């Protein structure tokens, strides 16, 4: 045979092999699509063997019937929901439970206006919880278009595989069949997903390497759940991340006041008792903190010595300004605490250079703190808000 004939035979062989491979790939994709569409965790009653059919218990028509209202149990956290989504899902379910309660506080049927108000409150609560997890102001949004509605119990194990990129958290919310966005939880059915990776933290902004890793892992995860991700442009995302981190760095303010002993150094063992009487809690990590009454703290206190030391002559009270809401007046509470310790410990309030701080100086600092709060409010990142706590944690 001539070279032309051999070339034609070889080309024909390659063409046939290509067609065969293409058909196999299409067959595999079709098979996986069918499996996703018809997969279910429910038992098929027609396929059971060796079991007697279960009949509903007989009901006496003459017995009084007790009317039961639909309700949700919130005694335990939603199973399979990790990290910030657990608390968010519980709060959202609480709002929904209130919506479905058709009686008022006195046990009487609620009016239509009250039911409508409850429904609006439930919807608002779900939207607030969703925004707390995936926030357009501080997150890079990652839309995920699902091929078909998916259950939360199918999605959650896969979503758990992408929760952090570097030191930046990744969160997800889902669009329920009702049309509301909410935290993803077991029992829910979702038509769309929205991911979000935090653009900046207290230490760094999201960088190119982290974003490239995110995109690679996101595509793999999306293939597993049957979704198509919409990937934002890297250049735009990096610009937003740097701008946000610039704001965070410019408002990373911590204010401290010091107490200097007027006499001999304080014994640590004696000091612990005095601090506890003043209201401080000693944390497992050795820090003293002043509780805020809601599980957090207003400010902390340092003895400025190592655990091995037995005495100290200087205490420092420290306020993390962007993490405390203005309504709590963290600086005012810290100054009041310092003045209380002055009388209890025979000390003087001084600055970092060991110069006494007068009431006029403290008042001036308090005014600067209020200006700081105004700047944060103007940026839609109020001090002490969920948004601020995520950025300054």
CB atoms < 10 A from the CB of 380, how many?
10
- Band (304; pLDDT cuts 50, 70, 90): very high
- Band (57; pLDDT cuts 50, 70, 90): very low
pLDDT for residue 81: 41
Above 50 in pLDDT, residue 69? no
Average pLDDT over residues 30-55: 46
pLDDT for residue 12: 75
Above 70 in pLDDT, residue 308? yes
pLDDT in tens, 237-275: 999 999 999 999 999 999 999 999 999 999 999 899 899
Per the prediction, the chain carries an average pLDDT of 81
Average pLDDT over residues 164-184: 95
CB atoms < 10 A from the CB of 248, how many?
22
Angle at 172 between CA 168 and CA 174, to 5 degrees: 165
Above 80 in pLDDT, residue 173? yes
pLDDT in tens, 175-208: 999 999 999 999 999 999 999 999 999 999 999 9
Average pLDDT over residues 283-311: 91
The three-class DSSP label of residue 5 is helix
* Rg of the chain over all Cα atoms, to the nearest angstrom: 30
Contact criterion met (CB below 8 Å) for 311 and 266:
yes
Average pLDDT over residues 374-386: 96
Above 60 in pLDDT, residue 122? no
Above 70 in pLDDT, residue 71? no
pLDDT for residue 302: 94
Contact criterion met (CB below 8 Å) for 261 and 324:
no
């Amino acid at each position: 045979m001539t070279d032309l004939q051999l070339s034609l035979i070889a080309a024909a062989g390659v063409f046939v092999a290509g067609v065969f491979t293409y058909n196999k790939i299409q067959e595999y994709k079709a098979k996986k699509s069918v499996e996703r569409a018809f997969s279910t965790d429910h038992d098929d009653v027609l396929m059971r063997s060796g079991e007697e059919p279960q009949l509903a218990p007989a009901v006496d028509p003459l017995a009084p019937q007790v009317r039961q209202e639909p309700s949700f149990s919130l005694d335990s956290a939603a199973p399979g929901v990790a990290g910030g989504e657990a608390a968010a899902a519980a709060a959202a379910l609480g709002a929904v439970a209130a919506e479905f309660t058709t009686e008022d506080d006195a046990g009487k049927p609620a009016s239509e206006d009250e039911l409508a108000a409850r429904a609006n409150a439930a919807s608002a609560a779900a939207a607030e919880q969703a925004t707390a997890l995936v926030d357009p102001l501080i997150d890079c949004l990652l839309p995920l278009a699902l091929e078909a509605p998916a259950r939360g119990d199918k999605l959650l194990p896969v979503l758990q595989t992408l929760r952090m990129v570097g030191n930046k958290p990744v969160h997800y919310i889902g669009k329920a069949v009702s049309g509301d966005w909410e935290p993803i939880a077991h029992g829910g059915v979702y038509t769309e997903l929205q991911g979000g990776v935090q653009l900046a933290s207290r230490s760094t902004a999201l960088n190119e390497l982290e974003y490239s890793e995110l995109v690679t892992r996101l595509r793999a995860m999306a293939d597993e759940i049957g979704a198509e991700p919409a990937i934002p442009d890297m250049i735009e995302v990096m610009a937003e991340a740097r701008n946000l981190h610039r704001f965070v760095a410019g408002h990373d303010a911590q204010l401290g006041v010091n107490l200097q002993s007027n006499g001999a150094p304080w014994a640590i063992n004696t000091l612990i008792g005095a601090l506890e009487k003043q209201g401080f809690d000693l944390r497992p990590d050795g820090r003293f903190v002043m509780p805020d009454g809601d599980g957090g703290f207003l400010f902390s206190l340092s003895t400025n010595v190592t655990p091995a030391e037995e005495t100290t002559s200087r205490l420092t009270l420290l306020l993390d300004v962007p993490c405390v809401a203005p309504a709590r007046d963290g600086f005012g509470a810290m100054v009041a605490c310092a003045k209380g310790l002055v009388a209890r410990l025979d000390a003087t309030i001084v600055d970092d250079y060991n110069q006494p701080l007068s009431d006029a100086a403290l008042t001036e600092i308090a005014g600067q703190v209020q200006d700081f709060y105004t700047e944060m409010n103007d940026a839609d990142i109020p001090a002490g808000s969920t948004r601020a706590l995520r950025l300054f944690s």
